[in-house]
Amino acid sequence: MKALVLEEKLRLSIREISLPLSMGPRDVRIRIGRVGICGSDVHYYTHGRIGPFVVNAPMVLGHEAAGIVVEVGSEVNDLKVGDRVCMEPGIPDMTSRASREGHYNLDPAVRFWATPPIHGCLTGEVVHPAAFTFKLPDHVSLAEGAMVEPFAVGMHAATKAQIKPGATAVVIGAGPIGIMVALSALAAGAGRVIVSDLAAEKLAIAGLYPGILPFDIRSGSLAAKVAELTAGWGADVVFEASGSPKAFEGIFDLLAPAGTVVLVGMPPAAISFDVVAAQAKEARIETIFRYANVYSKAVALLASGKVDLKPLISANFSFDESVAAFERAAQARPADIKLQIVVEESAQ
């Protein structure tokens, strides 16, 4: 079937490609409706690799998806044909030690869509394990369903932070993941979230949400702003979601004593930070890698209406416009948060 294929660095095509679509008894076949463009997709397009993951052969892109079930395996009981669903894109070996100990996202054998050599989902249909396929409530659109994947990153970060009701949080970086983290922190009970960036357009979008206080780092000191808002105490949680090495300069100045720093963004190279500054505040440092056991909770939050991700969808493209969509994503326009591709208009 037709798919958006990354042939090599900086070369995309929409063409027929043979993909594995055999059904197992615990699988479902899904007609793809919407796919979001992730920063990792764009990085593979522009650089041909992310760390040790190298595109050595043509690869279908896309891992943020929602669609409609068109076939179910003989042992699938909780999904049926016609269900609207979103899909968790990482499939681990459930017999691995990582999976048995509850950390399936850390399974070295995980097969994650659009991570070489695994094909992604920017195509007409996929076959996926029912255990990693989640039904969407009738009032949650496929567009929102395709936002669950990046929202799950924020949910995982907020979970690791162990946020207490009324806490003050700081999110460094107002990109798609930074805003998802901020919304997740609010949903977890934070009283307010200060989001910092230098892109005024992104800060303006983040500031549309009650509880988020945007801060332009070009206007002054973030540490001074946090101190002003907390009477000098500092933030209970600081999320680093930019991936910028500069973000680690003075990061513990933002933190309250015994506070928590959660590392979400991935710097392009090894970084260093002030260990003594962390020790002086007995800072707890948490890290995340993708997510685990949060997809159903993310769907429930969307269904509750407590989190609205629709304002973060900046533009939609038809499947035939997929190459143009990636070209725009690679431009990193300041006002763009999430671009989505409508793979099949009828699957909405």
Domain boundaries defined on the chain: 2-147+309-342, 154-287
Strand partners, 337: none
Whether 239 and 171 have beta carbons less than 8 Å apart is answered as yes
- Residues 15, 313: Cα–Cα separation, whole Å: 26
Round to whole Å and give the CA distance between 210 and 241. 20
Q: What φ, ψ does residue 185 adopt, rounded to 5°? A: -65, -40
Give the tens place of pLDDT for each residue, 136-149: 999 999 999 999 99
Q: What is the mean pLDDT of residues 197-210?
A: 97
| C-alpha to C-alpha distance for 333 and 259, rounded to whole angstroms | 34
- CATH of 154-287 given 3.40.50.720, 1.10.357.10, 3.20.190.10, 3.40.50.300: 3.40.50.720
Local confidence band at 346 (pLDDT 50, 70, 90 cut-offs): low
Percentage of the chain lying above the pLDDT 70 cut: 99
CA 111 to CA 90: how far, in whole Å? 6
Q: Which residues of 144-169 are buried (b: 16+ CB within 10 A; e: fewer)?
A: bbbbbbbbbbbbbbbbbbebeeebbb
Distance CA 333, CA 326 (A): 12
Q: Answer for the pair 60, 78: CB distance below 8 angstroms, yes or no.
A: no
> Can you tell me whether residue 92 is helix, strand or coil?
coil
Mean pLDDT of the chain: 97
Cα dihedral 216→240→265→284 (10° resolution): 180
Q: What is the pLDDT of residue 348?
A: 61
Position 342, amino acid = V
The pTM assigned to this predicted structure is: 0.96
Q: Which two tokens stand for residue 47?
A: 């650089």
Dist CA 237 CA 260 (whole Å): 5
User: Using an 8 Å Cβ cutoff, are 187 and 309 in contact?
Assistant: no
The Cα 290–Cα 152 span in angstroms is: 8
Interatomic CA distance for residues 317 and 334, integer angstroms: 18
Q: Which fold has domain 2-147+309-342?
A: Quinone Oxidoreductase; Chain A, domain 1 (3.90.180)
pLDDT digits (tens, 9 = 90+) for 261-288: 999 999 988 999 999 999 999 999 999 9
